[in-house]
Structure 1
Amino acid sequence: MDNLELRYYLRPLLKWWWFWVVATGLAAASGYLYTKSQPLVYRSNSTIMIGSAITDPNPNNNSIFLSQQLARTYADIATRDNVRLATMMALGISSLPSYSVAVVPNTQLIEISVDARNPELAYGVANELVNQLILQSPAGQERQGRQEFVTQQLAKLEQSILVTEQEISKNQAQLLDILNARQIADKQKEIATLEDKLATLQTNYTDMLASTQRGAVNTIQVIEKASIPTRPVDTNLLFNVALAAIVGLVLAAGGAYLIEYMDDSINTSDDVRIRLGINTLTAVPKMSDTKSAVLTGSVPIFNSKLIMLSNPKSSVAEAYRVLRTNLQFASIDHRMQMLLVTSPEMGDGKSITTANLAAALAHAGNRIIVVDADLHRPTQH
């Protein structure tokens, strides 16, 4: 693509620059007003975890995989009608605000986000959705409470086991420094008692761990409770304005190209080359007198239009000299004897062009005869 074709295809944008500038500005203003007119939305988030891998000191791949599968299942359940209806009944509302439930990739975590115009409503719905999911789990709300109690007891047993092990280690170290046989026997008896206590604690811990759901896969734990939001969600003002401006610019540019595509008139030398496939010889600037004045004869045409004589140093006269030169180059192979100047309509300027071209050729030393073939309204003689 040469420079001429590039200029031709860019011409609609340059010609209609005011159109797409105005359209872009109006679209950006519309985007701004629309965004500002939207009500404020508050978002409350809650995060839950399926399974207890995070609290299990030795989690295995199977339990983690099953927890991830269950997380996707619970995320789907959270959007079902039974959970939605139970949440509305618990809160005493007739409809729920919009909310989303998503599984954090490659984890057992589920994030619940609730958007509402009322921050307290968003907070309440987020917490109640979590509560309803817990009720849907095998543990349920009642068993979940027992789970918390057993977890506390397990923590106490772990602490007792740790203290007992430390006491045994301490007594064994003291035994090395005792020389009296009676004291050695007493210390060994004390160590044996502590070891029996440790064995009992470990047995109790193992039994309680086996009877509890700690380490179970199909349980729900609240990782992050919902809170009352204090700030509204970002309205994306800049993004919306920029998007509206881009859409307005694209539509305006498309409209400019459509207008130019529908316009089949020829206005420039570029149009001649692109549409007709021929080169122009010259482009003559417009003169001051109007077409209607020339047609009616109210303006003496040769007093104002014969630029080659009245103003030979003007740009218009130079254009006719360029026309003369190009015609001479075009007729190098065969000498130019006769020229026919015509146009589609009356008043297009063929008489003016003929007269000035004749003057330009005469200035170059040629003998010229001008014949006006318009027998109805001749202007040359």
Structure 2
Amino acid sequence: MDIAELIYPLRRWWWLIVLATVIAAGASFAVARQQPPTYQSRATLMIGRTIENPNPTSVQFSLEEQLAVSYANIANREPLRDATMEALGLDWLPEYSVTAVPNTQLIEIVVVDTDPQRAQIVASEIANQLILGSPTSTNQADVERQAFISQQLDTLQKQITDTQAELEDLSQLLGELNSAREISDTQNQISSLKNSLASLQLNYANLLSNTEKGAINTLTIIEQPHVPTSPVGSKMLVTVGLSAAVGFTLAAAAAYLLEFLDKTIKTVDEVKRLIKAPILGYIPEIPRKEDRWHFVTNHPRSPISDAFRNLRINVDLLGVETKTIMISGSAISEGKSTIALNYAQIATQANKKVVFVDGDLRKSKMKEALKLEQDTGLSTLLNSPAKLKDVVFTLDQRLTIIPSGSCPPNPTELLGSEKMDRILTHIKGMADLIVVDSPPLFVTDAAVLAKKVDGILLVVQLGKSRRDTVKEMMVQIERTGTSVLGVIINKISSGSNYYSKYYGSYYNIPDSEQNDADISETEIENNPQEPGVETDATSEPPKDEMKPDPEIILNEQNREISSHSEDVPQGRNPKLRGLLTFG
């Protein structure tokens, strides 16, 4: 699978993706614009006072980081939230978050509110509630206890200082003594003072650990919350961008899901992979307002007619015997009958005598297309002793139509009979090309007809022909042993058609001018200049001779056609008579 196939769902459903993206972005933009401005107030607390210690340990830092995470979790729970609302007399709190700053002993409190003062008050109270729930509480009992500890620390500090001074004096005296007894007594005094100093220092450390200065599990506000003066960014662009991305992603996923559920053929490369045959023609979609059955006759200079003309040339250039061609497809409503009849008409423009055989004996559309009044046709020839001249119609001197006739009870057996072989053999002697319009190849009638023709042209419509039916069609064709001449891609977009882009301006000629050109060419063919007669290029014929009387030309052409088809009855409907005239 190449890149083109991967992005095909996005290209096919681009309008859905664009629409979903625009709607998502527009809706989020409209909602974001209606939101009032928001303000943010922030407070920061620190666990312990290790940062003030000149010789901190990693154990202290690790413990304080764990305590910060615990306090942050407590602040985000209901008890602290309720305590904050009760303290402030509020029924609700604005949006806030309490997080532990990674790898630090800091706790950050952020409050976002449409009221800047309320944001500051709530941030301050949340910090206060955290402190009240910690050993750093400021109630009266704790204050008195801290005062007592401070007094004891001061006393111990003075005793330690005095002891250290006395030790220094004794150490100096020891160096001046000569008596052994005095030296021994002094050493004993020094040893006693050292033990006393160690005891005093231990007591001092124990008392200091119970104060805020020495405790690890304490909270201190290092950043007071302030009243914000300017709103924080609304992040409108981020919101709109994320909404657009979500809309795009969902629409793209829906496009791929639709393509997964859709089993039809999407690309020409997929046609080439399923059908091992060349693409011989790309036929644009015929406008609905036009007569699709006789389009190449009514509009011979249009890009669509040129596409049929290119199809005819490509078939001729195959270099194989293609006197009998069957045009079929994998399913109904793929346009095979329209292509078959127009292909037969375009072949007559190459001065070929063409016989169009409607081989769809079950659900033929030719009676409706040609407005036939009787039900005689191919089924009549196969099921009765009728003669060929009794069932055929002529559209012009070079195109003969054999309609399907009424639906027989046994169409498969009739199409596979020897009489069908004799009919085709007889027709080959009358025409340069036989175009057989067959049922879809999932019908057994088509398989029977396929054995009797020189080759098959398969019609595929992108977005309609299904992969599974095309695969079954190829299996059926392999069983018949008939060669596939090529593939016709029907109803392609006119915007991607080469003929529409390159020849569009050349063929964009009014119908009146086209008819005048056709009449002039007819006059030249029917009235060639006689040898030896000179004409003056500058002379102008009289105005009444500039353009022959159309009524005279029609009568002359009708007489000429009648002389070539004495045994063939003409169509009895107005469209057939018109085609007889302008063939």
Shared fold per TM-score greater than 0.5: yes
Superposition pairs of residues 155-174 of structure 1, within 5 angstroms: none
Which structure is richer in relative contact order (CA contacts within 8 A, separation 6 or more)?
A: 1
Shift of 1:75: 1.9
Correspondence 1:75 to 2:59: no
Alpha-carbon spacing, 1:302–1:226, altered in 2? closer, same or farther (3 Å): closer
8 A contact 2:297–2:345 mirrored in 1: no
**Structure 2 runs not aligned, ≥5 long:** 162-198, 359-365, 371-392, 401-583
Shift of 1:373: 1.4
SS at match of 2:33: helix
Equivalent residue letter for 2:324: M
Correspondence 1:101 to 2:98: yes
SS at match of 1:40: coil
Q: Tell which deviates more after alignment, 341-350 or 81-90.
A: 341-350
Correspondence 1:131 to 2:131: no
Superposition pairs of residues 276-355 of structure 1, within 5 angstroms: 276-286=274-284, 293-295=291-293, 303-304=297-298, 314=306, 316-325=308-317, 327-328=318-319, 331=320, 335-336=321-322, 338-342=324-328, 344-345=332-333, 347-355=337-345
Of the three residues 58, 61, 64, the one matched with 2:58 is: 61
8 A contact 1:269–1:280 mirrored in 2: no
Shift of 1:70: 2.0
**Residue 193 of structure 1 aligns with which residue?**
none
Distance (whole Å) between structure 2 residues aligned to residue 60 and residue 260 of structure 1: 64
Distance (whole Å) between structure 2 residues aligned to residue 44 and residue 144 of structure 1: 30
Q: Tell which deviates more after alignment, 44-53 or 97-106.
A: 97-106
Correspondence 1:372 to 2:371: no
**Residue 238 of structure 2 aligns with which residue?**
239
Of the three residues 11, 14, 17, the one matched with 2:11 is: 14
**Structure 1 runs not aligned, ≥5 long:** 162-202, 363-367
Q: Tell which deviates more after alignment, 69-78 or 221-230.
A: 69-78
Shift of 1:292: 6.3
Distance (whole Å) between structure 1 residues aligned to residue 231 and residue 117 of structure 2: 12
More helix by share: 1
Alpha-carbon spacing, 1:222–1:294, altered in 2? closer, same or farther (3 Å): closer
Equivalent residue letter for 1:35: A
Shift of 1:22: 3.4
**Residue 183 of structure 2 aligns with which residue?**
none
SS at match of 1:115: strand
**Residue 116 of structure 2 aligns with which residue?**
119
**Residue 207 of structure 2 aligns with which residue?**
211
Superposition pairs of residues 160-199 of structure 1, within 5 angstroms: none
8 A contact 1:321–1:357 mirrored in 2: no
Distance (whole Å) between structure 2 residues aligned to residue 85 and residue 359 of structure 1: 93
SS at match of 2:50: coil
| Structure 2 length-normalised TM | 0.46
Distance (whole Å) between structure 2 residues aligned to residue 316 and residue 103 of structure 1: 76
Alpha-carbon spacing, 1:150–1:236, altered in 2? closer, same or farther (3 Å): farther
Structure (1 or 2) with the larger CA radius of gyration: 2
Distance (whole Å) between structure 2 residues aligned to residue 145 and residue 227 of structure 1: 32
CA RMSD of aligned residues (A): 4.0
Shift of 1:210: 5.4
Correspondence 1:356 to 2:346: yes
Equivalent residue letter for 1:283: G
Shift of 1:141: 0.9
Shift of 1:257: 4.2
- Deviations for 1:292-314, whole angstroms, at most 9, x for unmatched residues? 6255xxx6x6743667xx99x94
8 A contact 2:94–2:111 mirrored in 1: yes
**Residue 570 of structure 2 aligns with which residue?**
none
Distance (whole Å) between structure 2 residues aligned to residue 204 and residue 341 of structure 1: 114
Alpha-carbon spacing, 1:13–1:83, altered in 2? closer, same or farther (3 Å): closer
Paired positions, count? 314
More strand by share: 2
8 A contact 1:48–1:223 mirrored in 2: yes
8 A contact 1:47–1:225 mirrored in 2: yes
**Residue 24 of structure 1 aligns with which residue?**
21
Name the % identity: 34
Alpha-carbon spacing, 1:23–1:123, altered in 2? closer, same or farther (3 Å): same
Q: Tell which deviates more after alignment, 244-253 or 340-349.
A: 340-349
Distance (whole Å) between structure 1 residues aligned to residue 288 and residue 132 of structure 2: 89
Superposition pairs of residues 194-273 of structure 1, within 5 angstroms: 211-212=207-208, 213=211, 214-261=213-260, 264=263, 269-270=268-269, 272-273=271-272
Shift of 1:53: 0.3
Shift of 1:262: 5.1
Equivalent residue letter for 1:28: A
| Structure 1 length-normalised TM | 0.67
Distance (whole Å) between structure 2 residues aligned to residue 242 and residue 139 of structure 1: 46
